[in-house]
């Protein structure tokens, strides 16, 4: 799960995403409408109800792994949210409703998550940091913590593993519920995700004991929440199990990962959003590849592709695994060869 260079298709794309679209997201992130509005009027902002609907739709698009669609729509959504924040300001929304600044922070979080999937980890870091700064100014503790968790994820993928672990543990200490009254599902979800992000960083460092400690605490929090989707985290017992498999694969403990897989509740798995299921199946395929069961790895990879094609076509990790299976298998499954053609990788 490192910061490898995104794979390029023969037509110049990144799996299902053209580099031009990523460049447009970068250009949108480079805008500072709130500062430039001192000298000139910002662009015409959309109506807040329309912007809220667009942001909610973007979250759902991400959780369905439609990264190619998001890459096309994110530049405009970023510009619209920036214009709303610059023109309307943070006090325009009634109490309890998401105002322009809050919506802009959410858009940056969506952009960060999408860019992370595409292997654009520097940009993912920038977008998450923008969201964290906005949330801090708004006093949105949980959303700020979620943004910092995204920063940690980007750093981990860039090889900055120790800072990623420190940030994750710091967030967990900040948002941990200290009383029963504080233990809301929302707080527990953000707290749990910081623990899971810390577990992934600890796995990258090879610290198996810390991985298991953090996962055990996350399991306790998840038991109080159930399989829910507060703050778009999909946090709950099933997602903790998904992260356990991912961490065990990162540690090189494929047999343990496959044993964990056997204990996952099928109903819980089926109820998860496509992004979570396909991402999990990608890690499961990596586990089979680690033990040398390449045919089964190919089958699981094709299952992930059926669940969410963009999870395989757009992610550098998936593209690399497809190339590995083609290279190592004497007679790769036709479906895997077809994927190779779609993503434009060579097995050399």
Average pLDDT over residues 97-125: 95
Cross-strand pairs, 14: 17
pLDDT at 293 over 80: yes
Closest CA to 111 of 149, 155, 67: 67
Please give the Cα distance from 237 to 154 (Å, whole number): 24
CA 36, chain centre distance (Å): 31
Structural tokens at position 221 = 């929090």
Q: Are 75 and 24 in contact (CB under 8 A)?
A: yes
Structural tokens at position 295 = 């045919």
State residue 39's pLDDT score.
42
Could you tell me the pLDDT band of residue 75, with boundaries at 50, 70 and 90? Answer: very high
**Which class for 167: exposed (0-12), middle (13-18), buried (19 or more C-beta within 10 A)?**
buried
State residue 97's pLDDT score.
79
Angle at 186 between CA 184 and CA 187, to 5 degrees: 70
Please give the Cα distance from 28 to 26 (Å, whole number): 5
Q: Answer yes or no: pTM beyond 0.85.
A: yes
Question: Residues 157-208: pLDDT tens digits?
Answer: 999 999 999 999 999 999 999 999 999 999 999 999 999 999 999 999 999 9
- In eight-state DSSP terms, residue 152 is H
Average pLDDT over residues 107-118: 97
Question: Under the phi-then-psi rule, with left for phi > 0, alpha for psi from -120 to 50, and beta for the rest, what region is 252?
Answer: left
Question: Residues 251-289: pLDDT tens digits?
Answer: 999 999 999 999 999 999 999 999 999 999 999 999 999
Please give the Cα distance from 87 to 226 (Å, whole number): 40
State residue 16's pLDDT score.
65
State residue 82's pLDDT score.
93
Q: What b/e sequence results for 286-296 when a residue is b if at least 16 CB atoms lie within 10 Å of its CB, and e otherwise? A: bbbbbeebbeb
State residue 124's pLDDT score.
97
Closest CA to 200 of 210, 190, 191: 210
Average pLDDT over residues 90-119: 86
Mean pLDDT of the residues in the chain: 89
**Rg of the chain over all Cα atoms, to the nearest angstrom:** 20
State residue 93's pLDDT score.
60
Please give the Cα distance from 321 to 303 (Å, whole number): 14
Angle at 249 between CA 213 and CA 346, to 5 degrees: 155
Percent with pLDDT over 90 in the chain: 78
Cross-strand pairs, 17: 14
State residue 331's pLDDT score.
75
Please give the Cα distance from 270 to 40 (Å, whole number): 51
State residue 6's pLDDT score.
36
What is the 3-class SS of 7-34, one letter each residue?
CCCCCCCECCECHHHHHHHHHHHCCCHH
Average pLDDT over residues 21-37: 76
State residue 92's pLDDT score.
55
Q: Are 212 and 240 in contact (CB under 8 A)?
A: no
State residue 32's pLDDT score.
65
pLDDT at 107 over 60: yes
């Amino acid at each position: 799960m490192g910061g490898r260079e995104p794979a390029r298709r023969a037509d110049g794309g990144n799996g299902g995403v053209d580099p031009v679209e990523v460049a447009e997201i970068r250009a949108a992130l480079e805008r500072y409408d709130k500062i430039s509005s001192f000298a000139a009027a910002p662009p015409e902002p959309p109506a807040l109800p329309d912007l809220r609907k667009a942001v909610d739709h973007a979250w759902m698009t991400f959780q369905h792994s439609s990264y190619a669609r998001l890459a096309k729509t994110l530049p405009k959504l970023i510009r619209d949210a920036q214009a709303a924040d610059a023109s309307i300001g943070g006090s325009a929304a009634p109490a309890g409703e998401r105002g322009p600044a809050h919506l802009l922070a959410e858009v940056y979080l969506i952009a960060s998550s999408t860019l992370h999937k595409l292997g654009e980890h520097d940009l993912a870091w920038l977008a998450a940091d923008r969201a964290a700064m906005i949330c801090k100014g708004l006093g949105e503790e949980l959303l700020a913590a979620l943004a910092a968790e995204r920063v940690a994820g980007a750093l981990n993928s860039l090889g900055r593993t120790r800072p990623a672990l420190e940030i994750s543990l710091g967030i967990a200490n900040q948002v941990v519920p200290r009383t029963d009254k504080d233990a809301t599902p929302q707080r527990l979800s953000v707290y749990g995700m910081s623990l899971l992000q810390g577990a992934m960083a600890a796995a990258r460092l090879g610290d198996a004991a810390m991985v298991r400690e953090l996962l055990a605490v996350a399991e306790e929090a998840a038991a109080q929440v159930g399989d829910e989707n507060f703050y778009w985290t999909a946090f709950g017992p099933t997602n903790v199990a998904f992260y356990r498999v991912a961490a065990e694969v990162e540690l090189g403990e494929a047999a343990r990962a496959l044993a964990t897989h056997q204990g996952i509740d099928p109903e819980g798995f089926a109820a998860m959003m496509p992004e979570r299921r396909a991402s999990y199946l990608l890690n499961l395929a990596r586990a089979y590849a680690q033990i040398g069961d390449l045919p089964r790895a190919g089958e699981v990879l094709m299952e992930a592709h059926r669940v969410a094609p963009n999870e395989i076509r757009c992610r550098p990790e998936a593209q690399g695994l497809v190339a590995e299976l083609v290279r190592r298998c004497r007679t790769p499954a036709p479906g895997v060869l077809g994927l190779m053609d779609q993503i434009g990788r060579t097995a050399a």
